[in-house]
Structure 1
Amino acid sequence: MGSAVIDLTPTPLKEWAIRRFGTGDKVVLVGSVLVGVLVLAALAGAVARRRLAVGAAILVALVGIAVAAVLTRAETGALDLLPSLVAAVTGPLALVLLARADRAAQEARRAGRGEDGRRALLLTAAVLGALAVAGGAAGRFVSSLRLRPEDVTLPRPADPAPPLPRGLDDQVPGITPFRTPTRDFYRVDTRLDVPVVGTDDWTLTIDGDVDRKVTLSFDDLLGMPMIERDITLTCVSNSVGGPYVGAARWLGVPLRDVLDRAGIDTTKADQILSTDVDGMTISTPLALATDGRDAMLAVGMNGKALPREHGFPVRMVIPGLYGFISATKWVTRLTLTTYAAQDAYWTERGWATDAPIKISARIDTPRALAKVDAGDVVIGGVAWAQERGGVAGVQVRIDGGAWVDAQLGPSGGDDYWRQWFYRWEAGSGSHRIAVRARSGDGEPQTAVRAEPFPNGASGLHELLVQVG
């Protein structure tokens, strides 16, 4: 139901939810669906006190909506209908039991045994509630078993990344870690659940405008020469100064090597339409995916196999492009085609087809509206300028004054973000801090404000602090 609601939600409302609730948007959505179900179930119970058949019909109709939602999902099978079918039996059955207990309680009250009838009704409700809780707990337990990471031995890269320099993590309190721990890496996608895909069952098909259709197994992919790269990923929903950006070390097969196995014709196709295990599609400009950047089909993240929530067993990683056109998780198909012939999920909803990540700088410390002591205050954060020569400079401005250069942390490569800091002799009062970055090819970060839709937010990160 939640996934169907996501697909039917207008894009501006989705963007509002992400801005308002962040990564908790899925919790809010599921909670809203639950509240709706509870309200309608309570209505069914109230109606059933007078007309049991009508109350049961309301519950069956609820199940029918769930069945319809399941059937609209791509790649669904008969087993996916099982929860709804169980609900179609247990829901009305529970209603019948409660209705009978309620009638017995009313008869006992009329016979002067009201306490006995009330006790029997409460006992029936308690037993049904306990069964529901037990069923939910059992489902969670089974889900946790399915979501356990699979034991995968990753090969050594044929082209390893150099050691990542020591960042400013210990020197600037409150600054974002130079490498994002896997557990803290942002997750923004349309999935309410995490797909469980086994390496034995996974395959990747390359088809469309190619010389020959190719299907690869997970072992086939692991047998190909791999590269290791430090790359920063950014979600297009990230607002100015937002949290949906992370930097990690990725291990994978160059995307061009995989496409070459099928033989691609760049004079015909202009997009790669990638499809995940459940039919979600993402379109990537073919020219950008094959222009020499370190585009890959990743199998590893920060030295280990991909976590399931980040695309296990295989996902796409293409530096310099927002994730909605480059970072397909749980990928199972790459179709070479044209934008005129096929639309992907986001292009159908009006998002841009060409969306390079914009030059950005973010203030991590001090936090907005923070109260800090007068004197020496360290301002710090991260900046990124992928596929533009990396970050060559960061500047800070206090209260609309002159821009002054900040100190840069070590470089992790052009496709990796860079930490920065500035020591400020702060006087008491309220102050506005702003930051901007400059890329290695000389392009300054734009101050023009833009919302994430349709091709990424822009503008300068500014915040107020109180110095006392």
Structure 2
Amino acid sequence: VEEERRRFLGGLLTLGGGTLLGAGGLAASLRSFTGATNYDYEGHGVATEHLLDAITPTGAHYVVSKNLIDPTVNIGLWRLEVRGLVERPATVTIDDLRRLPQQEEIVTLECIANGVGGSLMSTARWRGPRLADVVGLAGRTDPRATFLIVSAVDGYYDSLPASVVDDPGTMVALEMNGAPLPHRHGHPARILIPGRYGEKNMKWLSGIEVADHDHTGFYQRQGWSESAVVRTFSRFDNLEAGSRPTAGQAFEVRGHAYAGTRGIRSVQVSTDSGATWSEADLDAQVSPYAWRFFRWTWTPPAPGRYRMAVRAVDGTGAVQPDRYEDIVPRGASGYHRFDVDAR
């Protein structure tokens, strides 16, 4: 769906640059229309120069949206409705949220459409009240509650297990990297649930209903995972297909791994497509909810072709599966593999 939308806009751009070139007013209108959409930033991964940043700069953080044009919310008029199986439904303002105790967490977000070795993943410093405290503004919840049905300004909707309220890292984020949430990241408030794919981290939050039933979400109706728990991921950051390291010369291989709240226990690198493995060194953990960077010094013994592969072991001891799976329905899986030619 997202790719079809991007192709459509790309076709409009081609039309504007060709057929409409002589009609200056129409071409200008088309450029204005395109500038109002998220076409120029949506669906792009993190740029190469930021892949090794422990905290992704806000402007480089990946963005994926279901919208052609994202909402711009008037914070003075915005309200969050907390309702359902609660003691007293509450209409909450941004000031109400700011008065609650604030917590700060470094959390990695990954798009469920991130392919093997992809870069639709970023890490930021998020700040806001705990989700439990926000729901608590409506008083006690009914013991029959099993789900939170969440909704957004742009019409997006989803449901979450009510148990996520008790997860210590789950929050309603109001800030990103020390500044108020940008519009494209859900201003003024978004759900943040460490360890779940981006589709569960709803932007432009407008409603929380405490319920005793599930409500199939926007993307789940299209066949995507309901739980959206991230799968173990690893990739090379400074090597790619066609790289040409020098034989006999030490080269520091860099990359990162992520397994959500399970954490990363170790990363292993292979130069023979997984026939043998070597342990990489892990950088210090920046957060229990964030990716982990690794480094491994490799000296190619001779000129020739090497089949690189990387895998991670999560905090439970489970090894990242080798078998390739595409992104649908529950996120991609498999080793990041490619050939390099030592010269």
Q: TM-score, normalised by structure 1?
A: 0.65
The answer for the alignment partner of 1:328 in structure 2 is 202
CA 1:450–1:378: 2 relative to 1, 3 Å: same
Letter aligned with residue 131 of structure 1: G
Q: Aligned match of 1:343 in 212, 216, 219?
A: 216
1:186 equivalenced with 2:62 (yes/no): yes
1:438 equivalenced with 2:332 (yes/no): no
Would the aligned equivalents of 2:268 and 2:279 in 1 still touch at CA under 8 Å?
A: yes
RCO higher in 1 or 2 (8 Å CA, sep ≥ 6)? 2
Letter aligned with residue 26 of structure 2: A
Would the aligned equivalents of 1:363 and 1:379 in 2 still touch at CA under 8 Å?
A: yes
Would the aligned equivalents of 2:242 and 2:341 in 1 still touch at CA under 8 Å?
A: yes
Q: Aligned match of 2:237 in 364, 372, 375?
A: 364
Shift of 1:352: 2.0
The answer for the alignment partner of 2:44 in structure 1 is none
Would the aligned equivalents of 1:361 and 1:383 in 2 still touch at CA under 8 Å?
A: yes
The answer for the alignment partner of 2:187 in structure 1 is 312
Structure 2 unaligned regions, length at least 5:
38-48
Q: Aligned match of 2:330 in 444, 451, 455?
A: 455
Q: Aligned match of 1:225 in 101, 104, 108?
A: 101
Q: What are the within-5 Å matches in structure 2 for residues 76-91 of structure 1?
A: none
Tell me the C-alpha RMSD between the 2 structures: 2.8
Runs (4 or more) in structure 1 with deviation over 6 Å come to: 34-39, 137-141
Greater shift, 412-421 or 346-355, is seen at 346-355
Deviations 1:62-84 (A, max 9, x none): xxxxxxxxxxxxxxxxxxxxxxx
Q: How many residues align?
A: 329
Would the aligned equivalents of 1:293 and 1:319 in 2 still touch at CA under 8 Å?
A: no
Would the aligned equivalents of 2:50 and 2:56 in 1 still touch at CA under 8 Å?
A: no
Greater shift, 346-355 or 405-414, is seen at 346-355
Which one has the bigger strand percentage?
A: 2
Shift of 1:413: 1.8
CA 1:466–1:349: 2 relative to 1, 3 Å: same
1:464 equivalenced with 2:333 (yes/no): no
Would the aligned equivalents of 1:174 and 1:365 in 2 still touch at CA under 8 Å?
A: no
Aligned partners of 2:113 and 2:293: how far apart in 1? Answer: 22
Shift of 1:264: 5.6
Shift of 1:268: 2.6
Q: What are the within-5 Å matches in structure 2 for residues 35-434 of structure 1?
A: 129-133=23-27, 135=29, 176-263=52-139, 265=141, 267-287=143-163, 289-325=164-200, 327-340=201-214, 342-374=215-247, 375-388=249-262, 390-399=263-272, 400-426=274-300, 427-434=302-309
Deviations 1:245-286 (A, max 9, x none): 111100111001111222464643332222111211122222
Shift of 1:321: 0.8
Aligned partners of 1:297 and 1:466: how far apart in 2? Answer: 47
Shift of 1:174: 8.4
Aligned partners of 2:51 and 2:213: how far apart in 1? Answer: 41
Aligned partners of 2:333 and 2:233: how far apart in 1? Answer: 8
Aligned partners of 2:146 and 2:303: how far apart in 1? Answer: 57
CA 1:174–1:183: 2 relative to 1, 3 Å: closer
Q: TM-score, normalised by structure 2?
A: 0.87
Aligned partners of 1:279 and 1:37: how far apart in 2? Answer: 30
Deviations 1:168-225 (A, max 9, x none): xxxxx98521111111100012012221112101111112222221111111111111
Specify the structure having the higher radius of gyration (Cα): 1
Would the aligned equivalents of 1:175 and 1:380 in 2 still touch at CA under 8 Å?
A: no
Which one has the bigger helix percentage?
A: 1
Would the aligned equivalents of 1:322 and 1:357 in 2 still touch at CA under 8 Å?
A: yes
Aligned partners of 1:134 and 1:195: how far apart in 2? Answer: 23
The answer for the alignment partner of 1:29 in structure 2 is 8
Would the aligned equivalents of 1:283 and 1:344 in 2 still touch at CA under 8 Å?
A: yes
Aligned partners of 1:174 and 1:355: how far apart in 2? Answer: 26
Letter aligned with residue 276 of structure 2: A
SS of 2:144 mapped into structure 1: coil
Structure 1 unaligned regions, length at least 5:
1-8, 18-24, 43-124, 145-172
Aligned partners of 2:303 and 2:78: how far apart in 1? Answer: 60
SS of 2:11 mapped into structure 1: helix
Deviations 1:385-409 (A, max 9, x none): 2222x22211111113321110111
Shift of 1:439: 2.1
Would the aligned equivalents of 2:171 and 2:192 in 1 still touch at CA under 8 Å?
A: yes
Letter aligned with residue 230 of structure 2: I
Greater shift, 301-310 or 366-375, is seen at 366-375
The answer for the alignment partner of 2:42 in structure 1 is none
Aligned partners of 2:85 and 2:143: how far apart in 1? Answer: 10
Would the aligned equivalents of 1:264 and 1:336 in 2 still touch at CA under 8 Å?
A: no
CA 1:398–1:332: 2 relative to 1, 3 Å: same
Aligned partners of 2:11 and 2:56: how far apart in 1? Answer: 31
